[in-house]
Amino acid sequence: MEGHDAGPLPGKTQGPDPGVPGGRPSLGAIRRAEGATLHRMSDAPRRRAVLEVWCELQCPDCRTALDDIRALRERYGDALTIDLRHFPLEKHRMATPAAQAAEEALAQGQGWPYVEAVLSRAEELGERGEKVLLEVAEELGLDAAEVDTALIDGRHFLIVDADLAEGKAIGVTGTPTYVIDGVRLDGGRSQEGLRERVERIVDRLLAGGDGG
């Protein structure tokens, strides 16, 4: 079964944030304003092709999707901007704390390594909770005490909540979900064929074409 194409986004067209020159901020500029919602995996200038990946860190399907994301990064390098967006699902009790911990890891300069490490322990996260989040922080050489404090004081909650609200507004219902060039691709149903679909869109965008 080929990956499900959910079609164009309701009431939204893909494009740069008009409030920020060149689009949304780089990974190094984590906060452009209170409530900033986009967290870059690449510090390179934003290109024509931008892929949003809506995911949560207690989701086994998102862990599977890492292989496709790595392959896309390997193939396109900085020509493809990959944006990680939070979409914690209610059925996973640790999804929201994990997203907040990932934001703190990002603030400490290890956002993407932290995401990969937590996803590799998705089932364990569900069983052991915040201990896993702090263990991963320690393993990566982060300030685990500060990660713990961030979970307690909720300093990153608004960022996670804003991502969740935006995802719902554009029709995201599960994870992983990919959004590129105004098209939403639902990887929660099936990931088969999704990478190839994304590659076709990216190739067209990089070539400057308008066709599908």
Rounded Cα gap, residues 10 and 33, in angstroms: 26
pLDDT tens-place string over residues 47-84: 579 999 999 999 999 999 999 999 999 999 999 999 99
Average pLDDT over residues 177-197: 88
Q: Is 15 exposed, middle or buried (0-12, 13-18, 19+ CB in 10 A)?
A: exposed
Average pLDDT over residues 118-131: 96
Angle at Cα 91 formed by Cα 102 and Cα 110, nearest 5°? 10
Architecture category of domain 4-207 in CATH: 3-Layer(aba) Sandwich (3.40)
Supply the pLDDT for residue 7: 52
Rounded Cα gap, residues 192 and 190, in angstroms: 6
Q: Dihedrals φ, ψ of 5, to 5°?
A: -95, 110
Q: How do the domains of the chain map onto residue ranges?
A: 4-207
**pLDDT at residue 3 greater than cutoff 60:** no
**pTM for the predicted model, two decimal places:** 0.76
Rounded Cα gap, residues 136 and 112, in angstroms: 12
